[in-house]
Amino acid sequence: MAKTSEIVRVSSVNGKKALPTKNRLLPRPPETERRILGLGAPMDASKIRQSNNIREGMAGYLEMIATEVQAPVWNMQTIEQVRWDLLGPVTDETITANFSESIDLFGSGKDVPGIDKVETTMAQAGQTQTYMITCFVGVHINTDPLCFTVQGNAWSHPTTSSAQPPSPDVFTLNDLNNGALGAAFVGAESAPSQLLIPAVYEHGWWAQYAAWMMVLGYNLRWKIGQHTNIMDDELRNTAYMISAAQPDSASISQVDVVDFINRLNNRYDSMGSALDFLKINRLRIGSVLGLASTNVGIFKPDRSLEVVDACFGGMGVRTALLGNREYRKLAVPYIIKAGVPIGLFFQETDAAQANIMRRYLSITQASDSASIPPLITDDGNISADLPDGTGVTPVALERTLDGFNVPQQMLSERALFKGGEFKIALKVMGFEVTECWYDTLKSNPDLAALVQQNCGGCCIASQGA
């Protein structure tokens, strides 16, 4: 059906007197209907000009804009986001490149060295392809839902199919040197063909601890040009931790660590680790001196440590973000200009907490040796190459099962393995507008003032303007 124009009074037709004048509706040629995502039909400038005043002519459009701006989050039509997925701890080179004084997800592009997976909605790094009225900002942090720690041992990674050695809860230098755990470990003080080192496997909580330090050590800053900020406040005021259990709660249960250890070793093998993590399958019950005066440990088979207590729901990072919603509503909606870097990033404000974050994200635990996994002692001046004690009576004696007193030494270092995932996403939410709609507001101060007044102060300036 053709649309009609305004009412017109007709007095004559072709120079002849017409019928008594009446108000008639003249047909208007049909026009192709266009739709603009988020705003419906485009503005009709003629109707605005024919109104008694601009405010009356703009009323319908102002109402639509106000409705969109005040709409609930789930009604907003566009989300631009970048998400980094870490499938485990990362190298120190990755930490330096991506988690230093600034963390710039929007500016990172689709392929970030050291980041296992990047998900982005942007064709160009940090730039939208259309004009966008941004009403909400979101920072989502997601870590593994389980936290647990496993005691074990680090063993030289086999390059071919090999039998697993005994992996006891405790062993001494005598046990290694005298062959109690196998011939491959004999000569631990010189040059054994294989290594066996006490180890610990931390699952999940290292990432949550890093997330805790991140939200306290960085600000969320939205910068225009060199010196103008849209926002610049603590990241914890915006960040949202996705719940892994019931809101603000956790529970304790038990998990079988076999598959977790398999996934852990696959990760570390891919990162070039020379060591694999072994679960404990023996318990040391003592040692004997024997007729040959050679001290060796005595072990019994055991599987009790294959199942460990785990915390479901995490370590409570969400308590640092109490009250935060998935998206933070901007007090003043902001128009992002197409093709211009958005300029939203994390900026370090507390070096102490940021350094702890980097330490726990690092696969080397930011250690000086930079080995994978790191070998850690109780203090930097304690040598990882030397066992504790002296190996001479009467230091650290053990009463053997056959009634002798034997000095025992244990390795000083512990190999540290970390498993579980860490994900972080930066998002802006709003609705797209056409370039002509943006240009109309930019070029007409009266219309711009009305829009700003009626949609809560909608900013017309774009980045760098």
6-30 residue pLDDT tens: 333 444 444 444 444 444 444 444 4
What pLDDT is attached to residue 56? 62
238-280 residue pLDDT tens: 998 876 654 555 667 889 999 999 999 999 999 999 999 999 9
The reply to whether 136 falls in a domain is no
283: left (phi over 0), alpha (psi -120 to 50) or beta: beta
**Token pair listed for 30:** 């049909």
Average pLDDT over residues 108-116: 90
The reply to whether 364 falls in a domain is yes
CA dist 149 and 257 (Å) reads: 10
With a cut of 80, say whether residue 41 has pLDDT above it.
no
Residues with Cβ < 8 Å from 384, sequence gap 6 or more? 369, 375, 376, 377, 412, 413
**Token pair listed for 177:** 């040197």
Q: Give long-range contacts, CB 8 A cutoff, 24+ apart: 397-403.
A: 398/172, 398/286, 398/287, 400/286, 400/287, 400/288, 400/289, 400/295, 401/285, 401/286, 401/287, 401/288, 401/298, 402/288, 402/289, 402/290
What pLDDT is attached to residue 456? 54
The reply to whether 29 falls in a domain is no
Average pLDDT over residues 397-408: 94
With a cut of 70, say whether residue 79 has pLDDT above it.
yes
Among 186-190, 307-311, 368-372, 406-410, which stretch is predicted with the lowest mean pLDDT? Answer: 186-190
Domain limits at 307? Answer: 146-206+246-313+354-419
The reply to whether 227 falls in a domain is no
With a cut of 70, say whether residue 95 has pLDDT above it.
yes
User: pLDDT-based confidence at 331, cuts 50/70/90?
Assistant: confident
The reply to whether 338 falls in a domain is no
Higher pLDDT, 31 or 263: 263
In the chain, the number of structural domains is 1
CA dist 24 and 143 (Å) reads: 69
Higher pLDDT, 209 or 5: 209
Residue 407 · residue 420 · CB < 8 Å: no
User: pLDDT-based confidence at 436, cuts 50/70/90?
Assistant: confident
Among 87-101, 107-121, 126-140, 316-330, which stretch is predicted with the lowest mean pLDDT? Answer: 316-330
Looking from the CA of 459 toward its CB, the CA atoms found within 13 Å total 17
Among 288-302, 333-347, 348-362, 398-412, which stretch is predicted with the lowest mean pLDDT? Answer: 333-347
277-322 residue pLDDT tens: 999 999 999 999 987 889 999 999 999 999 998 888 766 666 666 6
Q: Give long-range contacts, CB 8 A cutoff, 24+ apart: 121-124.
A: 121/79, 121/80, 121/81, 121/82, 122/80, 122/82, 124/339
The reply to whether 412 falls in a domain is yes
What pLDDT is attached to residue 64? 65
Q: What pTM did the predictor assign?
A: 0.78
With a cut of 70, say whether residue 140 has pLDDT above it.
yes
148-196 residue pLDDT tens: 999 999 999 998 888 899 999 999 999 999 999 998 888 755 678 889 9
CA dist 53 and 58 (Å) reads: 9
**Token pair listed for 118:** 């990047």
Higher pLDDT, 338 or 395: 395
